[in-house]
A = this chain, B = another copy of it.
Amino acid sequence: MTALEPRFDAVVHAPPRLQICGLLAAVDTMEFASVRDAVQVSDSVLSKHVKQLEEAGYVQVRKSTIASRQRTSLALTKAGRAAFDAHVAELRRIAGL
């Protein structure tokens, strides 16, 4: 059992990013396009948010050229999962759950 310390994380808190993290927390890996559709944002907006998550060290971006098509897959890093979990814990605390 990890002693999960609730900790508010502004990077994770912003609506689009919270959703992105939530999605990634559930699936190990998801493609850029799938996330974009799930979150319902434009390419540019998703790209910008992903960049922020990447710079925070929360998301790993892997680009591969498969079947002659460019594919960008996203995944939470360990730090990303920790930050997300801690943030969710903080939300629970705040919400009094």
Contact = CB atoms under 8 A, between A and B. Distances in A.
A94 B13 CA distance: 11
A95 B15 contact: no
Contacts of A77: none
Contacts of A96: 22, 25-26
Number of copies: 2
A97 B8 CA distance: 18
Contact of A15 (B8, B18, B22, B97): B8
Contacts of A19: 94
Interface string A9-34: 01001010011001001100000000
Interface of A: 8, 10, 13, 15, 18-19, 22, 25-26, 84, 88, 91, 94-97
